[in-house]
């Protein structure tokens, strides 16, 4: 949840407590930020103990570039775009912008936990889907999820303005007559119905455990596949009941490695075989043979598992028979994890001979040769973690566990704006309610029409902020998708992120209208016979163009930003889907440079 959203929630009503629902990392972080602004918080958690699924997180938190990484890292964005796959094509520019925000701010998230909260995240590993090591965890025995949750809870419980109510299930979101959210209704552990009033922050997670409800509704093809989540219903219906918009509900991640417990093989809820097992050197075998680069994306590895084997069904649960195998070096690197799995009976210490004999020896020796740099890996793997085994015999000790694909988390949910405010189906914010964490999505909808080529924001002589557009004249001109306004920027503090611009593909501009920015309205140059289009904050790449000679100042009128001066004094920014060599044909502009960040231009 953004700091702006926290500030907004905190100032909504100084007389009322903020109500945070859900005690995973999103809910705890929101509570911490609210309390840091001296705003009282009541946190409702439906389970008997706080922490949600977050407390189970064992592999780490991704961040780059940080001081804990041994090498420079500027590939986090590219790796994340690659892992998004086909889903990225839906409103691509918007999604790329969100990925950029996520990856660029990841370092700050790591440092907030380390420097402000005192959590050890000094150990870094390269895990699945990453081209280099950027997953941070502590060097001690405590898994990162538990370390973060317990640290935040200790801090929160020490604050007299914080109240934690466990065993409390929210049953309804309360609304005032004007439709704004006024609080929630909830049931206590004793079955008593109660109400609490104030601004609400939903951080209840997704629906990956709701196999008979929302998961069945949105992804019936996943029926029978076990989950890492307990069978709790999703909370999204509470928000759709007040008009919240949903997006990407079919986007569900299936993790390739959940342990099959030999004591309870048909259990529908599996313990996750942490990503760190593959990252530190784990190799995956199907019927004794390798079949995939273990450090590919989760979706890729899962797809390969389902390609090479047919599932067996035990008590209605579909599962595959895959072994994950680690040597002594990988064991030492992930010792705290593997010791726990050994204690739970989810992994076993065995030998090559017992695992599969000569056939397995040949496969493990081939992997060991690749890890030692003697041969190229047959599946393109480049990182082998702490695998140290070089010469394999039938007596070589290995650590082995049976794994299967499992439903892990959901990526769809209610739509929010850049301030984490929940939006309705008309893209309007529902007053008094915010959402964070799994189960929410920043708005990724916009209406790209064909016109418009230049957007920029600058203060005028009276320090009022304006946004100007100049429509293109011919269809061959480069078309942008959107205009980014960074919330909180001193460049344009009163300009709304969501804006309307009137523009055309063919009609020359006729009039110029300067609209004030009062009360959040957005100024633009209104020109006759233009098409309507709505712009949201995002775009992939930017180009900066410098005005050398404005060909026809008389036709375009004078610049309202500079109160009568012509366009030759201005530096203008063109937003385009990609950096190209072609520029506008009629604007008298030439390419200056391609930049990835609009803030370096404005």
Q: Which residues are catalytic?
A: 255, 278
Residue pair 509/557 in contact (Cβ under 8 Å)? The answer is yes
- Other beta carbons within 10 Å of 476: 10
DSSP code per residue over 150-218: HHHHHHHHTSTTEEEE-S-EEEEEEE-TTS-EEEEEEE-TTS-EEEEES-EEE-----TT-TTTHHHHH
Angle of CA points 487, 134, 203, to nearest 5°:
50
What is the rounded distance in angstroms from the CA atom of residue 96 to the CA atom of residue 264? 42
What three-state secondary structure class fits 336? helix
- CA of 523: how far to CAs of 20, 295, 459, 494, 499, in Å? 36, 49, 12, 10, 9
φ, ψ of residue 6 in degrees (nearest 5):
-60, -45
**Per the structure block, which two tokens stand in for 70?**
């041994």
Nearest to 281 by CA among 315, 319, 330: 330
Give 428's contacts (C-beta < 8 A, 6+ positions apart): none
φ, ψ of residue 275 in degrees (nearest 5):
-55, -30
Give 360's contacts (C-beta < 8 A, 6+ positions apart): 285, 288, 352
Give 199's contacts (C-beta < 8 A, 6+ positions apart): 9, 12, 13, 16, 18, 19, 181, 432, 433, 434
What is the rounded distance in angstroms from the CA atom of residue 145 to the CA atom of residue 3? 22
What is the rounded distance in angstroms from the CA atom of residue 592 to the CA atom of residue 545? 5
């Amino acid at each position: 949840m953004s700091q702006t959203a926290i500030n907004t929630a905190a100032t909504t009503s100084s007389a009322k407590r903020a109500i945070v629902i859900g005690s995973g990392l999103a809910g705890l972080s929101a509570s911490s930020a609210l309390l840091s602004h001296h705003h009282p918080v009541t946190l409702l958690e439906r389970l008997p103990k706080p922490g949600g699924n977050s407390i189970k997180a064992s592999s780490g938190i991704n961040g780059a570039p940080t001081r804990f990484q041994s090498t420079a890292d500027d590939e986090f964005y590219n790796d994340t775009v690659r892992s998004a796959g086909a889903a990225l094509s839906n409103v691509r520019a918007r999604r790329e912008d969100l990925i950029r925000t996520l990856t660029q701010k990841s370092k700050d998230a790591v440092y907030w936990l380390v420097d402000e909260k005192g959590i050890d995240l000094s150990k870094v590993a390269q895990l699945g889907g990453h081209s280099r090591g950027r997953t941070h965890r502590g060097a001690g025995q405590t898994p990162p999820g538990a370390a973060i949750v317990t640290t935040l809870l200790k801090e929160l419980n020490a604050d007299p303005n914080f109240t934690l109510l466990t065993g409390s299930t929210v049953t309804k979101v309360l609304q005032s007559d004007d439709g704004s959210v006024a609080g929630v209704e909830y049931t206590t552990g004793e079955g008593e119905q109660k109400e609490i009033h104030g601004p609400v922050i939903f951080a209840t997670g997704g629906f990956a455990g709701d196999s008979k409800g929302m998961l069945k509704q949105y992804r019936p093809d996943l029926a029978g596949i076990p989950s890492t989540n307990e069978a709790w219903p999703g909370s999204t219906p509470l928000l759709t009941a007040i008009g919240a918009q949903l997006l990407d509900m079919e986007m569900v991640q299936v993790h390739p490695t959940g342990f099959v417990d030999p004591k309870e093989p048909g259990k529908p809820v599996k313990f996750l075989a942490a990503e760190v097992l593959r990252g530190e050197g784990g190799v995956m075998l199907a019927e004794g043979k390798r079949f995939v680069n273990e450090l590919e994306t989760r979706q890729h590895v899962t797809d390969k598992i389902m390609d090479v084997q047919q599932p067996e069904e035990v008590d209605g649960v579909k599962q595959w028979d895959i072994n994950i195998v680690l040597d002594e070096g990988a064991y030492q690197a992930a010792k705290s994890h593997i010791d726990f799995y050994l204690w739970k009976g989810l992994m076993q210490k065995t030998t090559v001979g017992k695992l599969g004999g000569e056939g397995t020896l040949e496969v493990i020796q081939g992997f060991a040769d690749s890890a030692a740099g003697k041969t190229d890996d047959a599946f393109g793997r480049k990182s082998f973690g702490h695998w140290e085994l070089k010469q394999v015999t039938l007596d070589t000790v290995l650590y082995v566990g049976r794994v299967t694909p499992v439903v892990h988390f959901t990526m769809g949910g209610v739509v929010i704006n850049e301030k984490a405010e929940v939006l309705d189906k008309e893209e309007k914010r529902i007053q008094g309610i915010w959402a964070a964490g799994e189960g929410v999505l920043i708005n990724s909808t916009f209406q790209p029409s064909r016109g418009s080529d230049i957007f920029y924001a600058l203060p005028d002589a009276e320090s009022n902020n304006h946004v100007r557009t100049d429509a293109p004249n011919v269809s061959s001109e480069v078309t942008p998708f959107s205009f980014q306004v960074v919330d909180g920027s001193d460049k344009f503090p009163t300009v709304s992120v969501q804006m309307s611009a009137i523009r055309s593909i063919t009609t020359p501009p006729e009039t110029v209208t300067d609209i004030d920015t009062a009360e959040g309205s957005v100024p633009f140059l209104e020109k006759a016979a233009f098409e309507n289009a709505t712009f949201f904050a995002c775009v992939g790449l930017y180009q900066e163009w410098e005005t050398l000679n404005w060909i026809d100042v008389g036709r375009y009128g004078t610049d309202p930003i500079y109160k009568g001066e012509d366009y030759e004094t201005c530096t203008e920014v063109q937003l385009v889907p990609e950096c190209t060599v072609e520029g506008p044909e009629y604007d008298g502009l030439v390419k200056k440079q391609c930049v990835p960040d609009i803030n370096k231009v404005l």
